[in-house]
């Protein structure tokens, strides 16, 4: 085989974290999730079982699936923390499965009485449902995308966020989330509980935006290989069986101010994330 | 943006396998649509079904990904020498230097539907469908990694009907940032109960073959398709010159009444290409034949482009192939640069009053140097692409 002529391995891409949002059952915000990750507190025992994003009016909140409520809650929290205007911030929704409880319900309907399909359930079933509800809810005409990469979903979402910044967007919103699977599908495709994590990210050169609070930076690079598994601990106990569990490695590194973490990024591909804790 | 070379392309649709079959069907005004023979529960509609998938199981090494959608991906990959081009490119740059960015709306949900139709007495999936990978949207991207051996970033983009237009934008960012040297982009979507009965529940499908932009149009015809393109920094062209992405911020399943998102996407694509509307020779429209989409898109085209621009929908040939629409219709737009044949909107007898002079009913021959493709999806998710025969300055 000839020697590949591709360019040299890529230099790390640098981005800054401007704001964070998080939600899991028992940890309804980033401060609580961070405390759990640091072993300083446990998840709340009498926790809410679903998120309640303030931007949706109550009737919309009843119609929207749990996965959408989760995604919107963390998206809003991240924008609030960053003091970012969601109406002009491009958004990236990364979810391995979208909403398998809806898939369960739709496939059940199709096997019994296909013509009884609910139109609301159908439009809620698209992978970009959360992106749609978000852009409608905040009145955003900015680009929005929805992606999946199986266990590499979080890393690929992070990569796309960095790419949009590199292509000129001053800030982007990354929303990573997955919800529970139900029914016969839930016995094959395992995902439990709710885990949502969002960040408003900005380009490293956006110095003028800095100045309030600690600013954390990330250096991202891709390498052949496999990422280590999520170690046992409080975060694994909290959401280790959720489809977005690979994000817990990053959440752990962020919360515990570790200098480095490695995320699954695909077949024979790992994303190395260097964290600079401001 | 710095233009990117499109060094290979292919599409497999209800009109047949590969670009040649599509080209011939368009030239002959021969639709690929047929009365619905797909769903076991009767549904009066016409569909764009790809022949032969039932008898084309995946090769044994790929049996873990077995499902209709990945069969169509594999079939489409065999056409126009695409798989060979991908492998040659992989040897040139290295497998880790090539990304896969692929679009779909429902991926292999047909396999999940089948599992529910064949549940055992204990409500368990049959053994042959106890494969988590085919019950998740990245089934498609994961299969393509196995099928091509590519090892760069691999991601499945799922924004409904804009998916396989947006893949060009995401891949362009990866190449321009230096993360990879090339990208395999495209989209694959197959017919399934979810979309047939889902669009039926929304009252958006027609009982007749769809009639894009006709004043009496009454809904869409669903179709299935797979298509791919290879993007590189250098090559002979044609070229990806621009992309534009936007959101409607209006409604989950209905377009913005003034077509605001559609206009923003087209204007952003033009701006990124550095080209003026006057140089656009042909636009392959989203043109689903739903009453609202076509009225709003026609209005936006009439407002933005001169009469010298030709515009049409090709969905009466292929059906609305959802997450594959972006790649199929980009391939058609790119092929018009080669053939000089601009498709008219098949089945459009009496154009809607909203249509401007850009909307063409009949096929025409003209020199196409710059073409555009529009793809708009649920959730108000829009993408427009600009392609050029020349790299430009």
Neighbours of B351 (CB within 10 A): 19
Cβ distance B166 to A224 less than 8 Å, yes or no, reads no
The whole-number pLDDT of residue A237 equals: 96
- Find the helix or strand (DSSP H, E) in which B101 lies: strand B98-103
Token pair 């994003």: residue: A53
C-alpha distances (whole Å) from A198 to each of A163, A244, B201 are 17, 12, 33
pLDDT for B382 beyond 90: yes
- Predicted confidence at residue A215, as pLDDT, reads 62
Q: Which of A118, A148, A163 has the CB atom closest to B137's CB atom? A: A148
Name the one residue in this structure whose structure tokens are 């409500």: B123
**Inter-chain touch A7–B261, beta carbons under 8 Å:** no
Q: Choose among A87, A91, A103: nearest CA to A130.
A: A91
Annotated active-site residue in B286, B348, B355, B383: B286
CB-CB neighbors (< 8 A) of B125 in chain A: 184-185, 187-188
* Pairwise CA distance, residues A205 & A275, whole Å: 17
Write out pLDDT tens, residues B154-184.
Answer: 999 999 999 999 999 999 999 999 999 999 9
Strands B182-189 and B34-35: unpaired
Q: Under DSSP, is residue B357 helix (H, G, I), strand (E, B) or coil?
A: coil
Residues 6 or more apart whose CB falls under 8 angstroms from that of A27 comprise A33, A36, A43, A44, A47, A238
CB contact under 8 A, B142 and A150: yes
Contact A119 B198 (CB under 8 A): yes
Band of residue A4 on the pLDDT scale cut at 50, 70, 90? very low
- A40 to chain B, closest Cα gap in Å: 36
CA distance B261 to chain A (A): 7
Q: Give A-chain residues touching B151 at CB under 8 angstroms.
A: 224, 266-269
Are B223 and B14 contacting, i.e. CB atoms less than 8 angstroms apart?
Answer: yes
Binary contact (B152, A267; C-beta < 8 A) = no
Q: Specify which residues B185 forms β-bridges with.
A: B101, B229
Name the minimum distance, in Å, from the CA of B141 to any CA of chain A: 7
Distance from CA of B355 to the nearest CA of A (A): 25
Q: Identify all chain A residues contacting B378, using CB atoms and an 8 Å cutoff.
A: 123, 126, 128, 132
CA angle B277, B282, B288 (to 5 degrees): 105
Alpha helices, H only, A178-259? 183-188, 234-239, 246-255
What span, in angstroms and rounded, lies between the C-alpha atoms of A46 and A44?
6
How many CA atoms lie less than 13 Å away from A79 in the CB half-sphere? Answer: 24
* Predicted pLDDT at A62: 86
Residue among B145, B174, B378 whose CB faces A128 most closely: B378
Report phi then psi at B344, rounded to 5: -90, 170
Confidence at A57, pLDDT banded by 50, 70, 90:
confident
The active-site residue out of B320, B348, B355, B383 is: B320
Residues of A in contact with B376 (CB under 8 A): none
Maximal C-alpha separation, chain B? 66
Check whether A240 has a pLDDT greater than 90. Answer: yes
Q: How confident is the model at residue A214 (pLDDT cuts 50, 70, 90)?
A: low
DSSP assignment of B220-288? B-EE-EEEEEEEESSSS--EEEEEEEEE--S-SSS--TT-HHHHHHHHHHHHHHT--GGG--EEE----
Compute the distance between CA of residue A8 and CA of residue A171 in angstroms, rounded to an integer: 28
Judged by CB atoms closer than 8 Å, whether chains meet at B91 and A136 is answered as no
**pLDDT of residue B149 exceeding 80:** yes
Handedness of CA A42, A45, A47, A50 (dihedral sign): positive
B26: closest CA among B315, B381, B317, B229? B317
Mean pLDDT over the full length of chain B:
97
Query: Is A10 within 8 Å of B179 when comparing Cβ atoms?
Result: yes
pLDDT of residue A3: 36
pLDDT given for residue A6 in this prediction:
43
Collapsing DSSP to helix, strand or coil, B11 comes out as: strand
**What are the chain A neighbours of B246 within 8 Å (beta carbons)?**
141-143
Check CB contact under 8 Å for A4 and B97. Answer: yes
From chain B, pick out residues whose CB is under 8 angstroms from the CB of A263. none
Burial class (CB in 10 A: 0-12, 13-18, 19+), B34: middle
> Is B350 annotated in the active site?
no
**The pLDDT of residue B122 is above 60:** yes
Closest chain A residue to the Cα of B146, Cα to Cα:
A267
Chain A residue nearest residue B203, CA to CA: A119
Active site residue B251: no
CA–CA separation, B371 vs B241, rounded Å? 10
Cα-flanking dihedrals φ and ψ of residue B14, to 5°? -60, -20
pLDDT-derived band at A9 (thresholds 50, 70, 90) equals low
Residue A175 in this model has a pLDDT that exceeds 80: yes
Is B286 annotated as catalytic?
yes
Q: Which member of B123, B245, B253 has the closest CB to residue A184?
A: B123
CB contact under 8 A, A110 and B260: no
Closest CA to A145 of B62, B174, B167, B66: B167
pLDDT tens-digit profile of B204-261?
Answer: 999 999 999 999 999 999 999 999 999 999 999 999 999 999 999 999 889 999 999 9
List chain B residues with CB under 8 Å of A12: none
- Contact status, residue A94 vs residue A153, Cβ threshold 8 Å: yes
> How many CB pairs (< 8 A) connect A and B?
260
Which of A31-45, A202-216, B104-118, B197-211 is predicted least confidently? A202-216
What are the chain B neighbours of A10 within 8 Å (beta carbons)? 177-179
Q: Residue A221 above 70 pLDDT?
A: yes
Beta-bridge partners for A200: A19, A173
Name which of B94, B198, B250, B383 to mutate to probe chain A: the one with the most chain A Cβ atoms within 10 A of its Cβ: B198
Residue in A122, A189, A267 closest to B198 by CB: A122
The residue ranking higher by pLDDT, A206 or B376, is B376
Q: Closest-CA residue in chain A for B108?
A: A103
- Chain A neighbors of B146, CB-CB under 8 A: 267
- Is the Cβ pair A266, B125 closer than 8 Å? no
For residue B194, give the nearest of B125, B101, B116, B129 by alpha carbon: B116
- Confidence band of B334 (pLDDT split at 50, 70, 90): very high
Question: What is the tens place of the pLDDT at every residue in B32-88?
Answer: 999 999 999 999 999 999 999 999 999 999 999 999 999 999 999 999 999 999 999
Q: Do B198 and A131 touch (CB under 8 A)?
A: no
Q: Do B198 and A133 touch (CB under 8 A)?
A: no
Does the pLDDT of residue B264 top 80, yes or no? yes
Q: What is the mean pLDDT of residues A234-259?
A: 97
Euclidean distance between CA atoms B377 and B315, whole angstroms: 15
């Amino acid at each position: 085989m000839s020697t590949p002529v591709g360019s040299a391995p890529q230099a790390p891409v640098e981005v800054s974290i401007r704001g964070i949002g998080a939600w899991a059952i028992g940890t309804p915000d980033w401060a609580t999730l961070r405390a759990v990750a640091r072993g300083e507190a446990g998840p709340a025992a009498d926790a809410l079982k679903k998120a309640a994003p303030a931007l949706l009016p109550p009737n919309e909140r009843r119609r929207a699936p749990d996965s959408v409520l989760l995604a919107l809650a963390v998206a809003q929290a991240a924008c609030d923390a960053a003091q970012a205007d969601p109406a002009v911030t491009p958004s990236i929704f990364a979810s391995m499965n979208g909403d398998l409880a809806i898939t369960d319900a739709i496939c059940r309907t199709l096997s019994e009485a296909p013509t009884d399909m609910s139109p609301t359930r159908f439009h809620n079933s698209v992978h970009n449902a959360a992106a749609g509800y978000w852009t409608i809810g905040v009145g955003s005409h900015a680009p929005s995308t929805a992606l999946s990469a199986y266990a590499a979903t979080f890393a690929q979402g992070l990569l796309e966020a960095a790419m949009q910044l590199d292509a000129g967007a001053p800030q982007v919103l990354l929303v990573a989330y997955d919800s529970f699977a139900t029914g016969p599908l839930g016995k094959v495709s395992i995902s439990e509980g709710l885990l949502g994590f969002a960040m408003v990210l900005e380009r490293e050169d956006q110095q003028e935006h800095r100045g309030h609070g600690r600013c954390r930076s990330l250096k991202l690079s891709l390498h052949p290989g496999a990422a280590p598994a999520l170690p046992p601990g409080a975060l694994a106990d909290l959401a280790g069986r959720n489809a977005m569990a690979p994000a817990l490695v990053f959440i752990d590194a962020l919360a515990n101010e570790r200098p480095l973490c490695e995320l699954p990024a695909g077949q024979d591909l790992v994303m190395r994330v260097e964290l600079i804790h401001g | 943006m710095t233009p990117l070379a499109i060094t290979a392309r292919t599409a497999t649709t209800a009109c047949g396998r590969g670009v040649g079959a599509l080209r011939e069907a368009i030239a002959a005004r021969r639709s690929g649509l047929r009365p619905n023979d797909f769903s076991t529960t009767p549904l009066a509609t016409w569909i764009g079904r790809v022949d032969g998938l039932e008898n084309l199981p995946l090769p044994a090494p790929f049996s873990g990904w077995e499902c209709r959608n990945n069969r169509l991906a594999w079939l489409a990959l065999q056409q126009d020498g695409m798989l060979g081009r991908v492998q040659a490119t992989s040897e040139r740059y290295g497998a880790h230097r090539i990304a896969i960015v692929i679009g779909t709306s429902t991926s292999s949900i047909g396999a999940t539907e089948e599992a529910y139709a064949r549940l055992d007495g204990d409500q368990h999936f049959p053994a042959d469908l106890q494969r988590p990978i085919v019950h998740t949207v990245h089934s498609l991207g994961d299969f393509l990694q196995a099928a091509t051996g590519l090892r760069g970033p691999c991601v499945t983009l799922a924004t409904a009907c804009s998916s396989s237009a947006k893949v060009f934008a995401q891949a362009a960012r990866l190449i321009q940032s230096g993360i990879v040297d090339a990208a395999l982009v495209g989209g694959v979507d197959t017919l399934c109960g979810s979309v047939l009965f889902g669009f039926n529940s929304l009252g958006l499908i027609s009982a007749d073959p769809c009639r894009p932009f006709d004043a009496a149009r009454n809904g869409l015809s669903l179709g299935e398709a797979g298509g791919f393109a290879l993007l590189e920094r250098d090559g002979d062209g044609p070229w990806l010159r621009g992309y534009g992405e936007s959101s409607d911020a209006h409604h989950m399943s209905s377009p913005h009444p003034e077509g605001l998102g559609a206009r923003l996407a087209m204007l952003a694509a033009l701006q990124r290409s550095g080209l003026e509307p006057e140089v656009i020779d042909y636009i392959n429209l989203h043109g689903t034949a739903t009453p609202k989409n076509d009225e709003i898109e026609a209005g936006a085209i009439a407002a933005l482009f001169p009469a010298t621009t030709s515009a049409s929908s090709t969905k009466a040939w292929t059906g609305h192939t959802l997450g594959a629409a972006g790649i199929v219709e980009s391939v058609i737009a790119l092929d018009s640069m080669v053939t000089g044949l601009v498709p008219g909107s098949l089945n459009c007898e009496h154009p809607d009053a909203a249509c401007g002079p850009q909307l063409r009913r009949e096929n025409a021959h003209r020199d196409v140097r710059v073409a555009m493709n529009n793809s708009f999806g649920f959730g108000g998710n829009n993408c427009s692409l600009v392609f050029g025969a020349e790299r430009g300055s």
